[in-house]
Amino acid sequence: MTDSSYIDTSKPHPARMYDWFLGGKDNYPVDEEMGRQLVAMDGRVLTTARANRAFMQRATRWLASQGVRQFLDIGTGIPTEPNLHQIAQGIAPESRIVYCDNDPIVLAHAEALLRSTPQGVTEYIQADFREPERILDEASKVLDLERPVALCLVALLHFIADEDGAYDLVDRLMRALPAGSHLMLSHGTSDFTPETAKQAGELYKARGMTLALRTQAEVERFFEGYELVMPGVSVLDRWKPELGEWTPESEEGPTPGYGAVARKP
């Protein structure tokens, strides 16, 4: 078994924890244990995961409706239907999608991500977000990087600290994409529950992981130089809500996450 295919079940992994938050079965006891600890800190963790998934679906529909036909989704996570390619190809069957993740368990489920329409293409890359040039090189085998691409970073950047180059990594990816490309991004925030966010960060650190929750202003910084699509950087469930869509019902306050889409001029 290669290092890239080894699944370490001795410690939690964000992709598997996210699967547990969504009610999935592709996780291990260690993921559920930490997930329950986080839910005990803030009951909105579960609804935030759902709100994040719903944001991805709305944003993908919006991008496809605007004529975007190429998507690069980094930090894909374990497949949960409808997946991004199903939404995009449901609107435009010729859409081309490249998924990328660094978790071997996502690779194990990649078959579900590769069920493309005959007219379109889907591909999966196992790579780390911290290797933008490698990701772009692999993606260019499927995507035409001289035509607009939607770079999708959904619930990814709050696992990348400032000192690990979060802003620079996004910039390096977007610089390689042509005018007319888009950045779709969602991000956890500490704005509404700073003390709980601090406790969660300490728990992640104790488990050998990074949690870098950011303020609205810090999330907006990822979009500097781009044209934000209205309503701008918004609480997840307030970004272009759709009639009849599930919305979180919580008496504990706003969903602690932001989402936005911007266009590269």
The answer to whether 16 touches 207, Cβ cutoff 8 Å, is no
At 22-45, the pLDDT tens digits run: 999 999 999 999 999 999 999 899
Give the span between the Cα atoms of 153 and 130, in whole angstroms.
13
Question: What are phi and psi for residue 25, nearest 5 degrees?
Answer: -115, 0
Q: Which residue has better confidence, 43 or 261?
A: 261
Share of the chain above pLDDT 90, in %: 84
Q: Which residues make Cβ contacts (< 8 Å) with residue 66, sequence separation at least 6?
A: none
- Which residue is associated with the tokens 């239907």? 81
Q: What is the mean pLDDT of residues 81-85?
A: 95
In angstroms, the first-to-last Cα distance of the chain is 45
Domain that holds residue 214: 3-263
pLDDT band of 250, cuts 50, 70, 90? low
CA-to-CA distance for 25 and 252, rounded, in angstroms?
27
Q: What is the pLDDT of residues 95-112, one digit of tens each?
A: 999 999 998 888 888 887
What is the distance between the alpha carbons of residues 74 and 139, in angstroms, rounded to a whole number? 11
Number of domains in the chain: 1
Rg (CA), the chain: 17
Q: What is the mean pLDDT of residues 235-243?
A: 93
For the chain, what percentages of helix, strand and coil (3-state, to nearest 5) are there? 40, 15, 45
pTM here is: 0.94
Q: Give the number of other CB atoms < 10 A from CB of residue 170.
A: 23
| Helix (H) or strand (E) run with residue 252 in it | none
Q: Give the CATH number, domain containing residue 233.
A: 3.40.50.150
Contact 38, 203 (CB under 8 A): yes
Mean pLDDT of the chain: 94
Q: Which residue has the higher pLDDT, 253 or 71?
A: 71
Q: For 56, what's the count of Cα atoms within 13 Å in the CB-facing half-sphere?
A: 29
